[in-house]
Structure 1
Amino acid sequence: MKFYQAVIGTALGLAVTQLSFAQSQITFKSAKTSSSYYQMAVEIAQAVKKDTDSKIIVTVEESQGSVQNVMETAFRGANYVFTTPPALVKLAQNGQAMFKNRSNPKFNDIRALFPIPSLAMHFVVSDKSGIDSFADMEGKKILLGKGTFGANEGAKYINLFGLDGKIDLAQIELSNAVPALKNGQIDGFVTSGSFPAPNVIEASAGTKVNILSFNDDQIAQTKRTKLVIPAGTYAGQDKDITTTSLPVVVYTNSAMDDETAYTLTKAFWDQKKNMSDSSPWWKGVTTDMLSNINGKIHPGAAKYYREMGVTLSENQQ
């Protein structure tokens, strides 16, 4: 009897061991659950599970923001992935800004995998406001909101373009921007998000709106990345919109093995078409956005890009 119990115990142990080798567990630190970036992380997790036939399981964790995501690389293991703007990784590695006196040598081990939708700036104005350019916002009532990337960027641009003190800033929550625009309480609002942004879709539905474009000089002043929102993205939008953006990338660290990094990257690009069919914000993601990565790309991911004929810079390899 003891012999059979030993045999059964050994068999079960082998089965568990084989299962653990057959399936990799990845932790994906994303954003607040209310954020579109959390939803994107869930979609990526589902895409990876499908593409790898459940050989890689991605568990999405809520985060309070990109700074937290970067900080956690100091004590997370090999199978940790997260989202953050490339600019933040550079600040962490140089011990600057919010990372001053919080530097860690492990920040230098951060490696990129693939880009995801950027945070695109939207200056949305009602057609009846008569606003066709940033200069036209003088004397108009504009909603910036507060405490968000879009609000901070909007305030910065108003100052850069010589409009500080010349705009009537509405004291309304950004969540009320669309009804306020439609009932004439405000002339426009500023928001950021991956396009098509839900609140901009809502604003353009049944009401004619304009979304302001930046010229090259204005983009240069902002020191942000140029992004083009294609014509037809929003109702009544018959031409491309040129705006600024903050690129966002999925990262891991150099401790992740090459095969896992390769498989994750391949799964993302393999499934991007399917993700785009259900969530349009994926349509704007292309391999051209790899140029926004100013640091190292994980060797496993780099292998996939070479196989796909994508040229990487010397700094990325």
Structure 2
Amino acid sequence: MRAWLKTTIALGVTALCSFGLAAPGHAEQRIAYKSAKAGTSYYQMGVELANAIKTGSQGGTILTVEESQGSVQNVMEAAVRQGDYVFTSPPGLVESAMEGKGPFKNRPKESFANIRALFPIPSLTMHFVMRGDQQVDRFSDMAGKTILLGKGSFGATEGEKYIKLFGLEDKIKIASAELGNAADALKNGQIDGFVTAGSFPAPNLVEASASMPVSLVSLTDAQIEQTGRQKQIIPAGTYAGVDKDVATTFLPVEAFTTTAMDEQTAYLLTKTFWQQKAGLGERAPWWKAVTPEMLLKTTVKLHPGAVRYYQEAGLRIPAEMR
């Protein structure tokens, strides 16, 4: 992607900021927004987004944030939900549903054919966190350390994959504990490090870095290529004491809907999101990492209403995404 992409999205937002999702005096519109488990960063993002959409539409549109057990449930419900339904998921999971693979292999793939993308949200970024006194700079330096992975999350699964991929399967001791206790366990010396995936700044890492020295393991370009994931740079200064850029991987996450949503609603919802993104970033730093480039890192088609907005904003949308 070129520098003009950021410029054109900014110009488009400026040019199109004359109205929101609904004008004052019009009937209030409610849209279901399927998020994540209550108490997680992604549920918090859903609340932040709902507030931004309400502000941007002058109270005309309300996102009703619903708790979810995860992205698989969100995608599953897209096949049966009626009316305006917005949900979050990694694009790859939506692609699996459309192809009838993975957790959707016993479901008719036609049920998911009408899913369409709207806009990106903060990605799942891998963090390999170590105590600052461990002098761990490279992945191979984790040999002989006790690492907490947690259970059942994307970060745990991905972390385990990397440990095997880079030949450390029999060289690392995996701690048996919940990821929610990671900061305390690190501080108390029960573990040498932990693995977590989430938007950055990650709350549990902010907590840990505020109370003790920590470091982040940086991956080489060759290692990132081995993972099959996309490269993400966590800028220096994101966390206390981490004074250099850290190279890692990320899994994109997007807001999706279905073709049951009409074009005008999808258009205005997408437009209002980009209008409000700067304010979202001022209130919660993880929104700052969301860029237009993320939009084109998927093969899932955009909703026609979203296509309309991006074209007016000056973005070149590939034919396969229309």
Please confirm whether the aligned pair reaches a TM-score higher than 0.5, indicating the same fold: yes
CA offsets, 1:228-260, max 9 Å, x none? 111111112222111111111000011211110
Q: Distance in 1 between matches of 2:174 and 2:122?
A: 29
Q: 2:249 aligns with which of 239, 244, 252?
A: 244
Q: Which residue of 1 aligns with 2:89?
A: 84
Q: 1:293 aligns with which of 282, 293, 298?
A: 298
Q: Distance in 1 between matches of 2:257 and 2:81?
A: 10
Q: 1:70 aligned to 2:75?
A: yes
Q: 1:111 aligns with which of 112, 116, 126?
A: 116
Residue 25 of structure 1 aligns to a residue whose secondary structure is: strand
Q: 1:148 aligned to 2:158?
A: no
Q: 2:126 aligns with which of 121, 124, 148?
A: 121
Q: 1:253 aligned to 2:258?
A: yes
Q: Distance in 1 between matches of 2:172 and 2:284?
A: 35
Q: 1:210 aligned to 2:200?
A: no
Give the gaps of 5 or more residues in structure 2. Answer: 1-23
Q: Which residue of 1 aligns with 2:201?
A: 196
Q: Distance in 2 between matches of 1:35 and 1:114?
A: 20
Residue 83 of structure 1 aligns to a residue whose secondary structure is: strand
Q: Which residue of 2 aligns with 1:58?
A: 63
Question: Which letter maps to 2:240?
Answer: A
Q: Distance in 2 between matches of 1:100 and 1:263?
A: 34
Deviation at 1:20, TM superposition (A): 10
Q: 1:26 aligns with which of 31, 35, 38?
A: 31
Q: Is the 8 A contact 2:99 2:109 kept in 1?
A: no
Q: Is the 8 A contact 1:112 1:293 kept in 2?
A: no
Q: 1:45 aligned to 2:45?
A: no
Percent identity for Structure 1 against Structure 2: 58
Q: Which residue of 2 aligns with 1:36?
A: 41
Question: Which letter maps to 1:244?
Answer: T
Q: Please give the TM-score of this superposition, normalised by the length of structure 2.
A: 0.89
Question: Which letter maps to 1:102?
Answer: R
Mean Cα displacement is larger for which, 167-176 or 278-287? 167-176
Q: 1:97 aligned to 2:102?
A: yes
Q: 2:269 aligns with which of 258, 264, 267?
A: 264
Q: Distance in 1 between matches of 2:199 and 2:231?
A: 14
Deviation at 1:21, TM superposition (A): 6.3
Deviation at 1:76, TM superposition (A): 1.4
Deviation at 1:113, TM superposition (A): 0.3
Q: Is the 8 A contact 1:117 1:282 kept in 2?
A: yes
Q: Which contiguous aligned blocks of 4+ residues in structure 1 show a shift greater than 4 angstroms? A: none
Taking CA–CA contacts closer than 8 Å with sequence separation of 6 or more, which of the two structures ends up with the larger relative contact order? 2
Q: 1:131 aligned to 2:136?
A: yes
Q: Which residue of 1 aligns with 2:15?
A: none
Q: 1:303 aligned to 2:308?
A: yes
Q: Distance in 2 between matches of 1:79 and 1:21?
A: 18
Residue 42 of structure 2 aligns to a residue whose secondary structure is: helix
CA offsets, 1:4-62, max 9 Å, x none? xxxxxxxxxxxxxxx99633221111111122111111111111111111221211111
Q: Distance in 1 between matches of 2:178 and 2:49?
A: 31
Q: Distance in 2 between matches of 1:220 and 1:20?
A: 53
CA RMSD, Structure 1 to Structure 2 (Å): 1.5
Q: Distance in 2 between matches of 1:108 and 1:21?
A: 32
Question: Which letter maps to 1:94?
Answer: E
Q: Is the 8 A contact 1:123 1:189 kept in 2?
A: yes
CA offsets, 1:169-200, max 9 Å, x none? 22232222112222322211111111000111
Give the gaps of 5 or more residues in structure 1. Answer: 1-18
Deviation at 1:137, TM superposition (A): 0.9
